[in-house]
């Protein structure tokens, strides 16, 4: 049971993501990672180990929005390559859950040569990038009708700064917003600092 955080807003994105991942540590994890959008590019920092190690890696890097993850491996060893976020073309994503048909999808879409990791999540990232041609909603809908399993995804597209997309099936995502920021997470712990009002993202809503 890993953790997911996403943040768009006027605050210190890196600080929010890293502090939130610490609040999610109680769920258990083996690796941690964050991705920041700086308006042009997305940079990824990730490592096997603790959020405190990730904090050192991140240093002064920051962005105008970002996503973060603590991984509890279900498919693939604990390694840098298998840690989230995963990136493929325009897509950077984190995932909580299990994509049950990922092996079938690798052969059906001939993805073997594109894989850097040995886990299930990168398959979803590559497929989403393949389905994406400028419309995130269409691409994410196609992805969710292609994969089988449980998932909570937080997703950024390189060509869409200051936007984070989320979708879920069974695995939870909660969302809150203030006047100038929006936060999503896999549970309520990180949201308390922002607002006492929140909503549970309905299943399959994007
Ligand atoms: N199945 C994914 C993996 O093994 C996500 C695991 C999780 O929920 O942390 O990387």
> What pTM does this model have?
0.97
Closest CA to 177 of 1, 2, 4, 10: 10
Instruction: Tell how far the Cα of 138 is from the centroid of ligand 1, in angstroms.
Output: 24
Tokens of 150: 């449980």
Q: Which atom of ligand 1 is nearest to the CA of 98?
A: 1
Number of residues written out for the chain = 206
Q: Confidence class of residue 1 from pLDDT cuts 50, 70 and 90?
A: low
Neighbour count for residue 118 (Cβ, 10 Å): 12
Instruction: Please write the tens of the pLDDT for every residue from 105-159.
Output: 999 999 999 999 999 999 999 999 999 999 999 999 999 999 999 999 999 999 9
Query: By alpha-carbon position, which residue is closest to atom 10 of ligand 1?
Result: 73
Q: Is 134 left (phi over 0), alpha (psi -120 to 50) or beta?
A: left
CA of 59 to the centre of ligand 1 (A): 25
Protein residue whose Cα sits closest to atom 8 of ligand 1: 96
């Amino acid at each position: 049971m890993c953790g997911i955080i996403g943040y768009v807003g006027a605050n210190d994105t890196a600080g929010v993501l890293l502090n939130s991942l610490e609040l999610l540590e109680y769920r258990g994890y083996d690796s941690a990672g964050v991705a920041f959008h700086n308006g042009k590019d997305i940079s990824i920092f990730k490592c096997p180990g603790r959020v405190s190690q990730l904090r050192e890696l991140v240093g002064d890097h920051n962005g105008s929005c970002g996503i973060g993850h603590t991984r509890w491996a279900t498919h693939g060893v604990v390694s840098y390559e298998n840690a989230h976020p995963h990136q493929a073309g325009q897509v950077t994503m984190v995932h909580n859950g299990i994509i049950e048909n990922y092996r079938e999808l690798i052969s059906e879409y001939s993805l073997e040569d594109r894989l850097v990791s040995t886990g299930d999540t990168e398959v979803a990232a590559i497929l989403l990038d393949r389905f994406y041609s400028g419309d995130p909603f269409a691409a994410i809908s196609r992805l969710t009708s292609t994969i089988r399993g449980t998932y909570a995804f937080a997703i950024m597209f390189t060509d869409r700064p200051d936007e984070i997309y989320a979708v879920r099936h069974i695995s939870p995502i909660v969302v809150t917003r203030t006047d100038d920021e929006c936060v999503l997470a896999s549970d309520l712990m990180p949201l308390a600092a922002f607002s006492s009002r929140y909503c549970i993202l309905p299943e399959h809503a994007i």
